[in-house]
Structure 1
Amino acid sequence: MPDVVIDYATVFRLLPGMVALLTPDLVYADANEEFLLSSGRTRDQLIGRYLFDVFPDNPNDPSANGIRNLAASLQRVAETGERDAMALQRYDVESAERPGEWEERYWSPVNAPVFDAEGRVVLLVHRVEEVTELIRARGRRAGGQAQVLEAELYTRARELQELNERLREAHAREREVALALQNAMLPVTRPTGDTRIAVRYRPAAGSLNVCGDWYDLVDLPGDRIAVAVGDVVGHGLAAAGVMGQLRSALSATSRVAEGPAKALEVLGLYARSVEGAENTTVVETCIDWNGRTVTYSSAGHLPPALLRHDGTVEFLDQATDPPLGARPEHLPRPQATTGFTPGDTLVLYTDGLVERRREDIDVGLERLAGALVRHRGDDPERIADALLVDLLPVGGATDDTALIVVRL
C-alpha cells in the first residue's frame, strides 16, 4: 500500500459526529463542523471562549444543571487523565439568534484526555451523541408516551449522576484511608548525625493511586547510614500492605546484613512469601561518612544520582539486578562502591519523578541531571522542592513519587 499523507485537521472537521476540543481551563480550542451546526454556534462564537460563556445553564430553570455536570466531568478528566463517559444529559441551549429563548436538547457526552510528551493533559476531547431527535420522533409516534419516556430517561440520568457522586465520595474516603495508612508505615524523617537529609513523597494525581512507593533511613554502626527507596507494583490498599511488609523487612535486614547486596538478597527471599511483592523494585545505598564512600545495590530500580561538587552528575548503575521475585533461582546480588567528596549530593527517587508516557527513560534521567546541576548550590530541602517543581507534570504525576536528597 503506497504511503498516504493524512490531513488530520480536515478529518477532524469532517467527522460525522459532534466533536470539540477544550483546554484544561475549559476554553474551546477547536470544534468540527457537526458540532458547530448542531450547537447553533459559529466558530467566532465558540473558539477561545469559556465553556459557561458559550453554554450557560438556563437561569429560568433551577433544575437545569447539564452544563455544570459537563464541566465537572471535563475537570475530572483534566485532573486524573482518565476518560469519562457521562450519563444522558438534558441541556437547555440558548438560541444564538434569539437571546432568552432556550431549546431543550438531550446529549450523551464522552470526554477524554490528550497528553503531551511529558504525560501532561493539554487538551480535552469532548464527543457528543445527539439524541434529541430520537426522543422527539418517538413523541410524534406515541403521543404522550414520549413524555413518559423522556421523564424516565431524565430520571435515570439524574439517578446515575447521583450514584457517580456517591462513588466518587466513597473513593475519596478510601484514598484518605490509604494515605493515612501510608503515613503510618513510612518512617518519620530526621537528620542523622550531622547529615542534611530532605525527604518528599507525592501521591499520584487522581483516584486512589497511592501507597506503591516507600523510602527508608536506617542508622548503622560505625558512623554509617542506609538509605533506600522502593516501588511495589500496583496501587491502593493492597499495595500499601505489601509496601509496609517489605519496608519493615528491609529496615530490619539492613541493620544486620553485610552491605546492601546481602540486604536485598534476604529481602528477595522474604518477598517470595508475600503475595503481590513480585517485581517490586528497590535500591539501597550505604553511606560511610568516615570512609567517604557510597556502597549500593539495586533490584531493578532506577539508579541513584550522585551530584558531584564540581557540577557533574554520576548515575550509580554498576550494581543492578532484576526486581524482587523476577527469577525463580536464588543468586547473589551485585554491589558496587564509589567515593564522594564532602559537599556532593546523593539523590534517590522512584519512577514517578522521571518516567513519562511514550518517552525513553534516558530523557527523564537527563532531565533530572539538568535540574540537579541547576540547583547544586542549594541545600537539600530546596533541591527537593525544586526537583518536584521542575520534573513533575503541572497536573500531577500518574505515579507516586518518593524522593530523598542527602548532602554528603
Structure 2
Amino acid sequence: MTQELRLPWDDDPEDLYEHAPCGYLTTLPDGTIVRVNETFLAWTGYTRADLIGHRRFRDLLTPGCQLYHETHYAPLLSMQGEVHEIALDVVCRDGRRVPTLVNSVLERGPGGAPRIIRTMVFNATERRGYEQELLAARRAAEDSERRVRVLQQIVADLAAAPTEAEVAEAVLGAPEPAFQAASSSIYLIDPDRDQLIAVASTDPMTGNWEDMPCSSDRAVAEVARRGDLHVIGSLADADEHFPDLAQSMRDSGRGTVVLLPLTTGPADDQNGATVLGVLAFSFREERALSDGELRVIRLLGQQAGQALDRARLYDDARRREERSLFLAGTTRALDEEHRLLQRARRLVERVVPEIADWATVRLQVGPAGLVEYAGGPAPDPEALAVRVAEVIESAAPAYATDGDGVGCTVLPLTVRGRVIGTLALRMAPDRRGADAERLFLVDLADRAGLALENARLYEQERAIARTLQRSLLAGDVPGGDTRFAVETYYQAAAQDLEVGGDWFDAFMITPNKLAVVVGDVVGRGIDAATTMGQLRSAIRALASAENGPARLLEGLDRFCERVDSARMATVVYAEVDLISGELSYGCAGHLPPLLHEPAGSPQYLLQARSAPLGSRAGDRRRTEHRVRLASGSRLLLYTDGLVERRGRPIDRGFEVLAREYARRRDAPLKGLTAGLADTMVGRDHGDDVCLLCLTLGTEERLERSIGADPLQIALLRADLRGWLIGHAVDTECVNAVLLACSEAVANAIEHGYRDDPFGVVDVAATVSADAVEVRVADRGSWRGPGTDFVRGRGLQLIEDSMDEVFFDRGEGTTVTMRRHRETP
C-alpha cells in the first residue's frame, strides 16, 4: 500500500500563518493590533496579550519612525490602498531595535470605508549590516582617493579662476582639504607701495594678520624676500627664528606652521622666481611633513603663483573694460536728463556706490555762485572747501593721499578751458593700477563737464524759448472789476525747446462785456507762435459789441484765406454780458467748455460746434449758443493737452477733468488752474497745456500763499484790495485791513523766515456783515532779540489799524486780526 504524500499546499493554513518567515499583523484603520503571528512575537519578545487590543502598530516604532508613520506611511496607505518596502525600526519588548521592511494593504468595506489593514514585516537586520559594511568600505575607498581628487580640484580651480580675488580664494581653501590644515591666510605683494597686503584668512584669531612692509622682519615678509618654502615644525623653532610667529602660535595654540611663497618661476629656481604673495597655513598639532607632501606644497605655490599672474593680467583688462562701460553708461545716463541739476544728481547716482562711497558736484553757474548736489556721508566740509577752491584756481586734479585731511579726490569740470565746477569723490583704496585709475577719473571729469555744460546751454535755450512763448501769450488779463475774476495757466511741453501754438486771451469788448478765448494752432516752432500772435490780434480786431461769436468765427475763416498757416487752428470763443450774466460762445473744432454753476455738477457745453478755422470740408457754417449764468458760476476753457493721453479714450479724460473740477468747486480761484494742471498732467507731459477759468462774482473767502519775498507783498495788497472792494467794504476799512495785513506779512517774512528763503506765508480773509477778519500764519522760528511781535513796532501799527488782534504761538506764529465794518 503506497503511503499518501502530503503536498506543501495541504499544510495547515493557520500553521503557515503563525510560522511564516515574516511577521504578519492585522490592525484596525486606527492602527490597533487585532491579530499577530508567532514569527513577529518571537522577533520582538511580546506576547499576544501585550499587543492585541492594547497597542497600535505605530506604538511599536521608534520616535523617528513614528513621525515618519504619521507624515508618510499613513497618508500614502490611505491614498494608494497599499505601501511596499517601507523601512521602519521596531522597538522590542526589551528595548532592542529591529530594522524591518514593511508592506501593508488597506482593505475597504462595501461602502468604501476602511475596514482593516494587513501588514507584512520583514526582518532587515542582516541587510542593514550588509549595507553598513558596504558603506564603510566605500568611505575607506573615498578616503584613499581624497587627496588626489583635492589636488586635482585645486589645480582645476586655479586654472578656472579668472580674477585675482578668485585665485586667492582657491589658494586659501586648498590647505585644509589637501593637508588637513587647521587654518590658512594669504598675503599678496603690492609692488607700487612695496607692501604685503593681508587679503583673507580662515583663522578665527587674526590678531597677527595685517598688512606689512616688504622690508619687515616678520616671518611672512622674510619668506616673500627669500622666495623659498619655510616649515616651522614647533614652537621652539619659531622662538629661535621668528619671534613674531612664535607669539601668534602661542595665542592660537597652533602646532606646525607652513609659509609658502607663491611664485611665477620654477619652484627649484629661486633666482628666476618672482614672488607674488605668501600662503601661510598651520596645523593644530606639531606634524612632520613627508618629502612627498613638501613636493606637493611647492607645486601648489608654483601653480598658485602662475594663476595669480594670469589673473592680474585678466583683472587689468577687465577693469579697463568695466571703466569703459561705466563711462559709456554714464554718458548715456546724463544724456537722458535735460536739466542741469538733474544731470548733476544723475552723475552722483552713477558714481555712488559703483565707484565711490561719497561724491559731490559743485557747479559755478550764474550769479548765484555754487550750486551743489551731494550723495553719501561727506568728509570735513572746511578741508573740502579749501581743496575745491585750489582745484578751481589751478584747474588741475587733486588726488587723495594718505593723511591729507580730506580723504577724497577733487576733479575740475573743464569745458573749453574754463572750469565750470568740480567733482569730488571718495573711493576705496586700490592696491594696483593707480595711474590707470587717474586716467579714468580725468576722462570721467571731461565727459561730465561736457554733459553739464550742454545741460546749462539747454536750460539757457529753454529759458529763451519759454520767454518767447510767454511774450506771445496775452498780457495781463482784466482785473479790478468786482463782477468777475479770471485765472490762467500755461505749461509748456516738458521736453521740447520749441514754442507751441496753445494760447489764451481775455479782454473787455465794452465796459460791460468780457471776451475770453483759448486756441490751439497746428504745429510747433516760430511759425506756429507767429500764427498764434496773428490770430490773437485778429480776434481782438473782430470782437465788437455788434459781432457775436458766430460772426467773429466767420471773420477768422476769411482771415485764414490770407494766412494759410492759421488753417485748421481750433478756437473756443465766449462773450459774457456782465450786467445780465448771459454767456454766448462758439467752438471752432475746439474741446467743449466746462461750466460749473453754484448748484449741480459740472456740465460740458456741447452746442455751437463747427469745424476748425479755414476748414474746406464738413459743415462750414458758424453758430453760437447762449446760456444765462448765475452769480458764482465758473467757466473753464482748455486745450487738448489737458485731457488727451496716448492709450486712453478721450471720454475718460473728460470724466477725470469733470471730477477734478467738481472737487475744486469751493477752492479759491487763485491757483485753481495750476493745481488742476498738476493733477491732470503733472510736470513731465509731452504736450502744451493752456487753461483759462472765468468766475462770475467775487470769491466768498480769499486764501493766498506767498513766498518769503517782500516783493510779493505788493501783489498781495492789490489782490486783497480788489477782493475787499468786491465785497462792498468801505474805504476806511479797506485801507486799515491792507495796512495791518501788509505789516503782519512783512514781519513773518523778516523774522519768521529770516534764514529760510523758501518759507511760505498763508493769508486767509473773510467778510461778514459786521466785520472783516484776516489771518496771517507762518511756520518759521521767531528767535533772538527784537523778533517778538509784542516788543516790535509792527504790533502798534496793527493794533492801531484793527479792532481785535490775537496771537497763537504754536508751530510758527499765527496773527488773527478783526476790523468792524461801518453799517450803511
Task: Report the equivalent of 1:51.
Answer: none
Partner of 1:35: none
- Specify the alignment match of 1:122 in structure 2: none
The 4+ residue runs of structure 1 with deviation greater than 4 A are 60-64, 158-174, 328-331
Matched, 1:402 2:690: yes
**SS of match in other structure, 1:284:** strand
Q: Deviations over 1:232-251 (max 9, x none)?
A: 11112221111111111112
Please point out which of 485, 488, 492 is paired with 1:199: 488
- More off after superposition, 61-70 vs 272-281: 61-70
The alpha carbon displacement at 1:284 in A equals 0.3
Q: Which residue of 1 aligns with 2:471?
A: 184
How far apart are 1:225 and its partner, in Å?
0.2
> Superposition pairs for residues 79-228 of structure 1, below 5 Å?
172-186=459-473, 187-191=475-479, 193-194=481-482, 195-221=484-510, 223-228=512-517
Checking the alignment, whether the CA contact within 8 Å between 1:217 and 1:225 is kept in structure 2 is yes
Structure-2 separation of matches of 1:391 and 1:267: 31
User: What corresponds to 1:232 in structure 2?
Assistant: 521
CA deviations 1:188-207 (Å, max 9, x no partner) are: 22425211111111101102
Cα 1:329–1:311 shift into 2, 3 Å = closer
Checking the alignment, whether the CA contact within 8 Å between 2:595 and 2:602 is kept in structure 1 is: yes
Q: Distance in 1 between matches of 2:561 and 2:477?
A: 29
Give the letter for the 2:690 counterpart: A
Cα offsets for 1:280-332 (capped at 9, x unmatched) = 10100111121111100011000110011114111111011110122169944
Structure 1: runs of 5+ lacking an equivalent: 1-56, 78-90, 100-154
Task: Give the structure, 1 or 2, with the largest relative contact order (CA under 8 Å, sep 6 or more).
Answer: 1
Residue in structure 2 matching 1:241, options 512, 518, 530? 530
Tell me how far apart the structure 1 counterparts of residues 679 and 450 of structure 2 sit (CA, whole Å). 38
Displacement of 1:179:
2.0
Q: Per the alignment, do residues 382 and 185 of structure 1 end up closer, same or farther by CA in structure 2, a change over 3 Å counting?
A: closer
For the residue of structure 2 that corresponds to 1:265, the secondary structure is helix
Separation of aligned partners in 2, 1:384 and 1:243: 21
Aligned CA distance change for structure 1 residues 62 and 327 (closer, same or farther; 3 Å):
closer
Unaligned runs of 5+ in 2: 1-318, 340-350, 357-442, 697-824
Partner of 1:66: 328
Q: Distance in 2 between matches of 1:328 and 1:305?
A: 27
Q: Sort the Cα spacing of 1:329 and 1:383 in 2 relative to 1 into closer, same or farther, 3 A.
A: closer
Partner of 2:611: 322
Q: Please tell me whether the aligned partners of residues 331 and 451 of structure 2 are also in contact (alpha carbons under 8 angstroms).
A: no
Code of the aligned partner of 1:398: G
CA contact (8 A) 1:353 1:401 kept: yes
Q: State yes or no: 1:274 paired with 2:601.
A: no
Say if 2:642 and 2:680, in contact at 8 Å, map to a contact too.
yes
1 CA distance for matches of 2:532 and 2:510? 26
Partners of 1:216 and 1:251 within 8 A in 2:
no
Quick one: structure 1 residues 165 and 240, their matched pair in 2 at CA, closer, same or farther if it must change by over 3 Å? Answer: farther
Distance 1:73 1:184 in 2: 30
After superposition, the Cα gap between the structure-2 partners of 1:304 and 1:276, relative to the gap in structure 1 and judged at 3 Å, is same
Q: Which amino acid aligns with 2:634?
A: T
Residue 389 of structure 1, CA deviation: 2.1
**Distance across 2 between alignment mates of 1:252 and 1:197:** 21
Distance (whole Å) between structure 2 residues aligned to residue 192 and residue 386 of structure 1? 23
Shift in CA distance, 171/288, structure 1 to aligned 2, threshold 3 Å:
same
The question of whether the paired residues in 2 share the 8 Å contact of 1:352 and 1:401 is answered with yes
1:235-285 per-position Cα deviation (integer Å, ceiling 9, x unaligned): 122211111111111122113651111111111211222242121101001
User: How far, CA to CA, are the matches of 1:238 and 1:171 in structure 2?
Assistant: 21
The answer to whether the 8 A contact 2:500-2:525 is kept is yes
The 1-side partners of 2:490 and 2:534 are apart by: 19
Give the CA deviation at 1:334: 0.7
2:778 is matched with: none
* Structure 1 pair 262–170 and aligned structure 2 pair: CA distance change class (3 A): farther
- Paired amino acid for 1:70: R
SS in 2 for 1:404: strand
Inter-partner Cα distance in structure 2 for 1:288 and 1:366: 29
C-alpha distance in 2, partners of 1:238/1:174? 18
Larger radius of gyration: 2
Q: CA 1:302 to 1:209, structure 2 compared with 1: closer, same or farther past 3 Å?
A: farther
- Which one has the bigger helix percentage? 2
- Pairing 1:238-387 to 2, within 5 Å after superposition: 238-255=527-544, 258-327=547-616, 331-387=620-676
Q: Provide closer, same or farther for how the CA distance between residues 75 and 286 of structure 1 changes in structure 2, counting only shifts above 3 A.
A: same
TM-score (norm 1): 0.60
Does the Cα contact within 8 Å between 2:570 and 2:612 map onto a contact in 1? yes
Amino acid at match of 2:330: R
Aligned partners of 1:257 and 1:263 also within 8 Å: no
Give the whole-Å Cα distance in 1 for the aligned partners of 2:663 and 2:618: 44
CA distance in 2, matches of 1:256, 1:171: 46
Secondary structure of the corresponding residue to residue 346 of structure 1: strand
Residues 349-408 of structure 1: CA distance to partner in whole angstroms, max 9, x if unpaired? 111111111222111111111011111011222422321222113x42211111111111
